[in-house]
Structure 1
């Protein structure tokens, strides 16, 4: 197995929304805001090369929305999936599987693109199987009013219409091994229903793709919960259980949304679990 970080593009989000009830005077120390109160956000995906399979975990927000939509998110930098895949010698047509941690637009928008004449939508990875889970799919396709703006039908329905969608079969417990894809999955419900957090055994370590369970290194303290979470009081115990396990087992946490800290480890302190070390992918694995 080999793993590659794939940069799908950077953007900005409101710092207050990203940290919920935590005052700006505190979160601004770890995630400094610009004059518009926006903080830097990444969309760094993972590509897993395992035998004859190329599994892409998440796909960023894509580029098919209009200028008004993207105007809310202040995209910056020149990273995109095609450029990043090419850097490692791959093309999007090589991808065999796309695993979506959840179906919010900034995690799955890059999975679907305009067709050639812009009359409709088609999978952006024509040879790939798209993986979600049945419970989350139903949650996303019949969204509540609070999350509706994050579940865009043009990002989601074409996966099913193409015949390329499959569901991870849940075994009724929070953590399970995926027979379909060969890595562990933690199911969490605080951010959105049945978000899936991949755990990969790699070079003697457990590398965890954190998605929105832990967006940035600044979110390690338990009360630092996003305003976007649908069940913040459920996020708290989910984070606590995970972070205590991560500290004990020396997990490496791959931060999809942190534009400045790629991978971190955590440790137990008298104040609870806190960040330990910061690493780049290349420092650890190349």
Structure 2
């Protein structure tokens, strides 16, 4: 097995929204804001090469939205794209066999779908891949509540089903680890951010790499009360994060941070204040 970071772009989000009720004087120590109160955010995806399978976890925002839409998110940091990052590692979009979506918010699923050649409709970006979600989250996303409606864009979601490439993982009876044989890694299900978000745990060279998605957006979110304002069930996030971080500290998981623009992989440890940062790593350190 080989792992590759796939950088699909960088953007900015409001620091207050990213940290909910936590005062700015606390969160800006780890996530400094600009003059508009915006903090740096990455869309760092992960590619798994496992035998004849190439599994891409999440796809970033994509490029089909309007300039006005992207203007809200202050894109920055050069020209990182899915295609460019895949090419840098020697791959092409048509090589991808599976796209695993932690959840269907636009900054995780936008890169799944693009305009067709004449911009008369949409088509899958990865024409040879299965797209993986789960039935509960799919229903949640296709019949969205008013709180999340702006995050679940139909043009990112419905064309996946229409393409015939959609597949579902199973769902456990509780939010514990579930092995997903079709993909070869375990899944931790979390409901606080959005219903049935999936956190992949990849077993790699005797270690476990956890793709943290929005359960732990950045290093600054390690303290339990530091929960995003975007989360639909913040108290549930707090409990899920506590459970998972204890598991990670006990087992020395490597935590792959999708949204931390400045920290790629971390480990955590138990302290008197709870689970806190232990070590930081680059993907090159771990994916040798």
Q: How many residues align?
A: 286
Separation (CA, whole Å) in 1 of partners of 2:133 and 2:182: 11
Counterpart for residue 198 of structure 2: 196
Q: SS state of the match for residue 160, structure 1?
A: helix
Superimposed CA distance per residue, residues 216-271 of structure 1 (whole angstroms, 9 cap, x where no aligned partner): 00000000000000000100110000001110100000000000000000000001
1:285 Cα offset (Å): 2.5
Counterpart for residue 12 of structure 1: 12
Superimposed CA distance per residue, residues 189-227 of structure 1 (whole angstroms, 9 cap, x where no aligned partner): 000000000000011110000000000000000000000
On the 8 A contact 2:3/2:46 being kept in 1, the answer is yes
**What's the C-alpha RMSD, in Å, of the aligned pairs?**
0.6
Mapped pair 1:39 → 2:74: no
Matching of residues 267-278 of structure 1 within 5 Å: 267-278=269-280
Mapped pair 1:143 → 2:133: no
Counterpart for residue 158 of structure 2: 157
Q: SS state of the match for residue 232, structure 2?
A: coil
Matching of residues 100-111 of structure 1 within 5 Å: 100-111=101-112
Q: SS state of the match for residue 26, structure 1?
A: helix
Mapped pair 1:57 → 2:57: yes
Separation (CA, whole Å) in 2 of partners of 1:105 and 1:172: 27
Counterpart for residue 207 of structure 1: 209
Matching of residues 89-100 of structure 1 within 5 Å: 89-100=90-101
1:284 Cα offset (Å): 2.1
Separation (CA, whole Å) in 1 of partners of 2:189 and 2:172: 11
Counterpart for residue 115 of structure 1: 116
Q: SS state of the match for residue 65, structure 1?
A: coil
Give the 4+ runs in structure 1 shifted more than 6 A: none
1:15 Cα offset (Å): 0.3
TM-score (norm 1): 0.99
Separation (CA, whole Å) in 1 of partners of 2:170 and 2:220: 33
Separation (CA, whole Å) in 1 of partners of 2:100 and 2:173: 19
Separation (CA, whole Å) in 2 of partners of 1:157 and 1:118: 16
1:283 Cα offset (Å): 1.4
Q: SS state of the match for residue 64, structure 1?
A: coil
Superimposed CA distance per residue, residues 97-122 of structure 1 (whole angstroms, 9 cap, x where no aligned partner): 00000000000000000001000001
Structure 2 unaligned blocks of 5 or more: none
Separation (CA, whole Å) in 2 of partners of 1:116 and 1:195: 32
Counterpart for residue 221 of structure 1: 223
1:172 Cα offset (Å): 2.0
Structure 1 unaligned blocks of 5 or more: none
